Structure 1
Amino acid sequence: MLKELHLRKVGPCDELDLQLMPRLNLITGDNGLGKSFLLDIAWWAMTRQWPRALNKELVSGYVARPQSAKEGSIEFVVEGKANKEVRYKSTFSARDESWTGKAGRPHNPGLVLYAMADGGFAVWDPARNYWKKVGGQDVQDRVPAYVFSPRDVWDGLQDPERGQLCNGLLSDWAGWQKEGGAPFEQLCAVLATLSESNSEPLKPGPLTRISLDDARDIPTLETPYGKAVPVLHASSGVRRIIALAYLLVWSWQEHVKACALIEEQTTQQVVFLIDEIEAHLHPRWQRAIVSALLNVTQALARDARVQLVVATHSPLVMASAEPRFDAQLDAWFDLDLVSGSPAREPQVRLAQRPFERLGDVSRWLVSEAFDLPSPRSREAEVLIEQAETLVDEEDASAQEAQELTQKLEGVLGGIDPFWSRWRFAGAQRGWWTLPEPGQPVSKPAARKRTRT
């Protein structure tokens, strides 16, 4: 488990301190404030590897450079086997372009999974990637980690020296389905759990061929309209989910096999980093994905503790966490751009926010998570500000109010709650009169008044 992360002069913040909780950690913030960067740092802290250093096909996951090599540092606390905590501090060597610290293997944090926003994926397995002891020295002669580009997820991962590391989704799925064993049963169960709804589950269909020139057996998915669609033709949202499902099953299956070979028990801890968990997903899916991933990971690793660190832009993801959020196990962190003094530029700050159950998802839009002035369109927002200003102007005329009402009608729905406030305020100013009790109140009523 990753328990603490402390950055000095690294990334957008001069100082950043993160105290993670053991189950669910939600990270929000505007674009460019460092959510993905934090996940990259978290991955490095637990594995001592930068994703792109292991796979040049990635477009993210580069080595983090500090603002100043003399002042920059990364410090973290990891909890591994037997609840043992290790604190590690690293500084940057500008000459070597690398982070240095105490020599030796990284502390074992358990199985670490990292789903990147672009569809890439990384796995660190304590049974397969851990360093060996040779003559009393730590030697990393195994694969440092399994880092997949989006293409590698589907077609397989190769190493120039070691050969084929993973067959990929298309080949493994087809092979598992033909064998009909435990891996395919797990895949079916994971797909069902990660589905948008129980009424429309992701269910494998028969294998198929998609071209005369392609000899591969391609997996398919059953659809609600009764046809089996090749996974290569699935939507972006479905492809994101089935890739997650496959890699969860593949990572756990390979971990179990490796543990059997080295005669050790499977890991007691799983850390899952997920960047933009809602990527490509329909709103119905967004409000189910957090609970689904918690359930799936806990179901695969039945005896292990599962820690999720999730970066999101979605108010539906935040609202979906409400039923399961427990302040003893979970936390919400928010990155904000804070205005400085006139002599200083704005600064990025990370704050742990108290998690409140806001109910209506529109309330999350105007919360500290997303900082919108209102859940409406920008055009409606501007006109409502003009209306509120007009109400406060002593010499505002009924004609001005009527003209503004016509503009508002072009951007606001007829049942928007603003209309009742606007009618009442206009009646108080004498711009129009309200209907008599028992008469219907309709938005066009304001337009029928005589203009002055």
Structure 2
Amino acid sequence: MELAPRLNLITGDNGLGKSFLLDVAWWALTRKWPQDLNENLTSGYVARPTDVGQKATIKFSVESKTGRVEYESSYVPADQSWRGKAGRPWNPGLVVYALADGGFAVWDPARNYWRKKGNIDVQERLPAYVFSSKQVWDGLPVLVDGKTTKVSNGLVADWASWIREGKADAKRMAAVLAILAPTSGDDGLQVGDTFARLSVNDARDIPTVRMAYGQDVPILYASLGVRRIAALAYMLSWAWREHLIASQQLGQQPSSRIVVLFDEIEAHLHPRWQRAVVPALLKVVQTLTADAGASVQLIAATHSPLVLASVEPLFDVEKDKLFVLDIEDHVVTLREKPWAMQGDVINWLVSESFGLQQARSIEAEKAVEAAEAWMRGDTAALPPDLSTKEAIHAELARVLAGHDPFWPRWVVKFEKAGGRP
């Protein structure tokens, strides 16, 4: 799997390994599995071979700050872990992983990379920041020097604090949120004018979002789709803010490269939002960093034909790739697909990327296939309950809309055969 430098989209049926590929990509970039760093996650577990008697290896190359790095790791059953070459790891830039369960993982070169004491490499820093879905909102406590420390206050507290200050952090969060939400129609997201309280016993000031109907709604009461976009905006803003602060304290230049891994990028999103999210993520890095030269590499898994349709105007075969997971002879295969614009969602559904025969219900697909078999005289292909033209016609009338484009073909054949529609 040779990834493209900008956009990489992965499609495939459920259970074929899209999340697995993203977990391995995170591990390749950070050498840590998300679940190992936060047991509250419901995903991100260590990859393990199905047959420990066979040698299992993960081999990859990474574009790091100092150039391309080749690496190979072997699974050691006795240790229940992957073992590779010891020594100082690579620096891939800032890495943000949005997991399908709502959790996030962040690797920051300023805060998680090894440091030096004299000429000696010392691995004393936290290996990464891994949030469960709840910790994204409420804060992430971790052990630092034997003491429980909150390394993030969570979306609710941090966003409220940024809004009160009214400075760069609040503006950055609002700008990222505005880019990630759709800009057409009435579904654009804006920060509300007020805070909210959930009850007399809850002293938190809850940030609000201005909905399309003009009401400010506490972010905790917003829909799953709105909360997912808000969580993404927060994690990107928080990761960059803390990276800037740490870089300044260390006397280093901030990273100009961000890698974003995103599992089920369309999850909980209305179709209008689904077709906006990938183009928005490719734009957001320049807004986040205020650096026109900053680069982003996005690796995303999706089940949505709208996501693929949305990238047609911007897809560049020199910088972007499409991968498809499939089953061939009971073996899962991963193939890079040559890019070809499909034009609309229906064409994407019936393309090799998604593999549907028709963009209809199962019953309608069966009826249309029976009708097509009857029209070409292939009676052996007719199912028992659709073995006559009358039965086929009755089923088509039941399952197809009156304006379905299949009707003209069928009616002409049906009438020629002496039928009456």
TM-score with structure 2 setting the length: 0.94
Instruction: Please state how far the C-alpha of 1:394 moved relative to its aligned partner.
Output: 8.2
What is the aligned counterpart of 1:200 among 187, 193, 218? 187
**Same amino acid, percent of matched pairs:** 54
Report what 1:431 is aligned to.
Answer: 418
What is the aligned counterpart of 2:334 among 326, 346, 350? 350
Please give the alpha-carbon distance, in whole angstroms, between the structure 2 residues aligned to 1:394 and 1:141: 71
Please give the alpha-carbon distance, in whole angstroms, between the structure 1 residues aligned to 2:82 and 2:122: 18
**What is the RMSD computed on CA atoms of the aligned residues?**
1.7
Q: Deviations over 1:33-70 (max 9, x none)?
A: 00000000000000000001000000111111123444
Aligned ranges for residues 183-198 of structure 1 at < 5 Å?
Answer: 183-198=169-184
Equivalent residue letter for 1:358: Q
Q: Please say if residues 121 and 150 of structure 1, whose CA atoms lie closer than 8 Å, have aligned partners that are also in contact.
A: yes
Q: Deviations over 1:326-377 (max 9, x none)?
A: 00000000000012xxxxxx10000000111111110000011110010000
1:122 matched to 2:122: no
1:168 matched to 2:151: no
Report what 2:279 is aligned to.
Answer: 291
Please give the alpha-carbon distance, in whole angstroms, between the structure 1 residues aligned to 2:256 and 2:287: 13
Report what 1:383 is aligned to.
Answer: 367
Instruction: Please state how far the C-alpha of 1:385 moved relative to its aligned partner.
Output: 1.6
Report what 1:413 is aligned to.
Answer: 401
1:96 matched to 2:79: yes
Please give the alpha-carbon distance, in whole angstroms, between the structure 2 residues aligned to 1:219 and 1:168: 12
Instruction: Please state how far the C-alpha of 1:405 moved relative to its aligned partner.
Output: 1.3
Q: Deviations over 1:221-265 (max 9, x none)?
A: 111222111011000000100000011100001101111000010
Please give the alpha-carbon distance, in whole angstroms, between the structure 2 residues aligned to 1:34 and 1:200: 33
Aligned ranges for residues 332-371 of structure 1 at < 5 Å?
Answer: 332-339=322-329, 346-371=330-355
Q: Please say if residues 191 and 201 of structure 1, whose CA atoms lie closer than 8 Å, have aligned partners that are also in contact.
A: no
1:132 matched to 2:115: yes
1:235 matched to 2:219: no
What is the aligned counterpart of 1:329 among 308, 319, 330? 319
Please give the alpha-carbon distance, in whole angstroms, between the structure 2 residues aligned to 1:49 and 1:288: 31
What is the aligned counterpart of 1:33 among 5, 11, 16? 16
Q: Deviations over 1:95-123 (max 9, x none)?
A: 11111111123200000110001100000
Q: Deviations over 1:252-286 (max 9, x none)?
A: 01101111000010112111000000000000110
1:48 matched to 2:47: no
Instruction: Please state how far the C-alpha of 1:20 moved relative to its aligned partner.
Output: 0.3
What is the aligned counterpart of 2:124 among 126, 141, 144? 141
Please give the alpha-carbon distance, in whole angstroms, between the structure 1 residues aligned to 2:375 and 2:196: 66
Please give the alpha-carbon distance, in whole angstroms, between the structure 2 residues aligned to 1:231 and 1:180: 18
What is the aligned counterpart of 2:133 among 124, 145, 150? 150
Residues 350 and 278 of structure 1, relative CA distance in 2, 3 Å threshold: same
1:209 matched to 2:197: yes
Report what 2:5 is aligned to.
Answer: 22
Larger radius of gyration: 1
Equivalent residue letter for 2:139: G
Report what 2:234 is aligned to.
Answer: 246
Instruction: Please state how far the C-alpha of 1:197 moved relative to its aligned partner.
Output: 2.7
| Higher mean C-alpha deviation, range 354-363 or range 385-394 | 385-394
1:66 matched to 2:49: yes
Equivalent residue letter for 2:319: L
Please give the alpha-carbon distance, in whole angstroms, between the structure 2 residues aligned to 1:298 and 1:93: 42
| Higher mean C-alpha deviation, range 135-144 or range 100-109 | 135-144
Equivalent residue letter for 1:181: K
TM-score with structure 1 setting the length: 0.87
Equivalent residue letter for 1:61: G
1:107 matched to 2:93: no
Where structure 2 has 5 or more consecutive residues not aligned to the other structure, the ranges are none
Q: Please say if residues 247 and 253 of structure 2, whose CA atoms lie closer than 8 Å, have aligned partners that are also in contact.
A: yes
What is the aligned counterpart of 2:256 among 244, 268, 285? 268
| Higher mean C-alpha deviation, range 156-165 or range 244-253 | 156-165
Q: Deviations over 1:282-329 (max 9, x none)?
A: 001101110011111232132321100010000000100101100000
